[in-house]
């Protein structure tokens, strides 16, 4: 019988990218909206908003993809041993005396 422990960091992965995609998509829609109604781009501000919107979407996605995942800790309740799981392989943690 095993008890697995995972950190909150693994559970919240992808939230920042989702929020950034929502904010960036609003910027992209604001840039594309005048063009849909036939009005040409009037200033360089539109290109800056477009560039920043794409940057807001891509930067957090690259950061979250490049983060290493946290290793889950597995407790064996029967033998009272502690393991950590790395790519499906269980590795035993050496016991440390706290006394």
pLDDT, tens digit, 9 for 90 and up, residues 26-67: 888 888 887 777 776 666 777 888 888 999 999 999 988 888
75-84 contact pairs (CB < 8 A, 24+): 75/2, 75/3, 75/4, 75/5, 76/1, 76/2, 77/1, 77/2, 77/3, 78/1
What's the confidence (pLDDT) of residue 48? 83
What's the confidence (pLDDT) of residue 55? 92
- pLDDT at 92 exceeding the cut of 60: yes
What's the confidence (pLDDT) of residue 34? 76
What's the confidence (pLDDT) of residue 81? 80
């Amino acid at each position: 019988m095993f008890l697995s422990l995972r950190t909150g960091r693994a559970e919240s992965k992808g939230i920042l990218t989702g929020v950034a995609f929502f904010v960036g998509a609003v910027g992209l829609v604001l840039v594309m909206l005048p063009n849909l109604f036939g009005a040409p781009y009037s200033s360089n501000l539109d290109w800056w908003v477009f560039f920043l919107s794409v940057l807001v979407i891509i930067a957090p996605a690259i950061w979250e993809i490049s983060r290493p995942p946290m290793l889950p800790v597995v407790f064996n309740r029967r033998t009272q041993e502690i393991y950590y799981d790395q790519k499906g392989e269980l590795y035993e943690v050496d016991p440390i005396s706290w006394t």
